[in-house]
Structure 1
Amino acid sequence: MKDTFKHRGMRNKLADVLVEKGITDKNVLGAIKTIPRHFFMDSSFEGHAYQDKAFPIAADQTISQPYTVAFQSQLLHVKPGHKILEIGTGSGYQTAVLLHLKAKVYTIERQQELFKKTKLFFGKMGYRPKKTIFGDGYKGLPEEAPFDSIIVTAGAPEVPRALMAQLKVGGRLVIPVGAQDQIMTLFYRKSLKEFEKKEFGSFRFVPLLENKN
């Protein structure tokens, strides 16, 4: 696949749509305008790549709606050099947005088919997360903790305690919580024992499954 002027024009229009929906972070919008989302999808869906919709990818998973990616990224308050744990690599599109924001990304995927495909894709495209891991996202990555931010890209029926524990004081956990529709939830770690919680409305994600492996 190629990235053409037409694709770039469609990305600019997509960014305009996201602005209308309330995305204000210029760096996040810059990532949306820059990253060729059609590369992360099956070529048969290329014509849909710059619509603000989720679409199927391998292993019965989806590439998230661009608004959702931008909204979660904006909530993270990413700064260059931030150490971020991503639960649910998926297509790799959210990973690419975080890398564009100059974060150090550690990403975990539980679906082996998707893990292999996306890891190969990262190498081919020159995307370089710090680590791409096949494993159980519920457990996080304790050997690399603490993290400046943690982002979960699948719906969790409850917030995994391991992820809360792996967050720095001053860090942010962005996670969709709920069984059917999920509530986008931000946890800000104020101290070792105290978290501030904010909720941001209803979203829909594929489920975060425990002990898959």
Structure 2
Amino acid sequence: MLASDMTHRARRGRGMTSQRTRDRMVERLADQGIVDERVLAVMAEEPRHLFVDEALAHRAYEDTSLPLGFGQTLSRPVTVARMSELVHREAPGRVLELGTGSGYQTLILSRLVSGVHSVERIPALYQRAARRLESLGAPARLRAADGRRGWPGAAIFDVILLTACASALPSALLEQLSDGGVLIAPLATADGEQWLTRVRRHGHTLEQQRLEPVRFVPLLEGVVQGTG
């Protein structure tokens, strides 16, 4: 999609879907256990339909994940809301998101907290997300890089959020986490289950808490070539 087309869609933005459609989504989120009023308010306001292909825009507010290409998906609204709620609860000053994807989770985070940084390993997704977020005035910093390495030049972070499943915690990320900071990530068990996990750093000690079962694409290493 051309940058001019992206800007035009953003300007139409909230007019493409009725507020009633958004309100129904938010009602479902509340029924599914999302209690943070600020998260619900932001998700009622922001245009999720701009973060998928126009052919899928009519499904943007359904309780489902949607394809982005490159083997990636836009997570269900309840997953985005839950992740956002966990981040917002920490009242962080600096947040690192690993796996920008469409940029929708990044947008929601940028409306809730300051200092949002996001890393995407697929250049084509990074470029699309950057255009979308710029057109919407989202105050987030993005880069195309290997997310497993974090963002050393912007560290230290109060919260690090992984939007892909890791089998183990990358040591580079833990080194970029503040003392008392939290890493929120889907982690895989030996038998293949995935659990949304909160890891709090206390000096050299890590306190882990399993929160709920989830299903995410795997966290992969390296930057994809030839897709920019």
Class of the TM-score when normalised by the shorter of the 2 chains: over 0.9
- In structure 1, give the amino acid aligned to 2:207: E
| RMSD between superposed Cα atoms in Å | 1.7
Q: Give the whole-Å Cα distance in 2 for the aligned partners of 1:96 and 1:5.
A: 18
Q: Give the whole-Å Cα distance in 1 for the aligned partners of 2:75 and 2:17.
A: 22
> Quick one: which of 100, 104, 118 aligns to 1:89?
100
Q: CA deviation at 1:116?
A: 1.4
Q: Is the 8 A contact 1:181 1:205 kept in 2?
A: no
- Say how many residue pairs are matched: 210
CA deviations 1:154-184 (Å, max 9, x no partner) are 1112111111121111211100011754210
> Quick one: which of 196, 199, 202 aligns to 1:187?
199
CA deviations 1:58-89 (Å, max 9, x no partner) are 3221111111111111112253x621000000
Q: Is the 8 A contact 1:78 1:101 kept in 2?
A: no
Ranges in structure 2 where 5+ consecutive residues have no aligned partner? 1-8
Ranges in structure 1 where 5+ consecutive residues have no aligned partner? none
Q: Give the whole-Å Cα distance in 2 for the aligned partners of 1:87 and 1:5.
A: 29
Partner of 1:172: 182
Q: Secondary structure at the match of 1:95?
A: helix
Q: CA deviation at 1:128?
A: 2.6
> Quick one: which of 50, 63, 79 aligns to 2:74?
63
TM superposition outliers: structure 1 runs of 4+ over 4 Å? none
Q: Give the whole-Å Cα distance in 1 for the aligned partners of 2:90 and 2:75.
A: 19
Q: CA deviation at 1:7?
A: 2.8
TM-score norm. by structure 2 comes to 0.86
Q: Higher mean Cα deviation, 92-101 or 171-180?
A: 171-180
Partner of 1:117: 128
Q: CA deviation at 1:53?
A: 0.9
Q: CA deviation at 1:141?
A: 1.1
Q: Is the 8 A contact 1:59 1:113 kept in 2?
A: no
Q: Give the whole-Å Cα distance in 1 for the aligned partners of 2:213 and 2:187.
A: 9
Q: CA deviation at 1:98?
A: 0.6
State, as a whole percentage, how many aligned pairs show the same letter.
Answer: 35
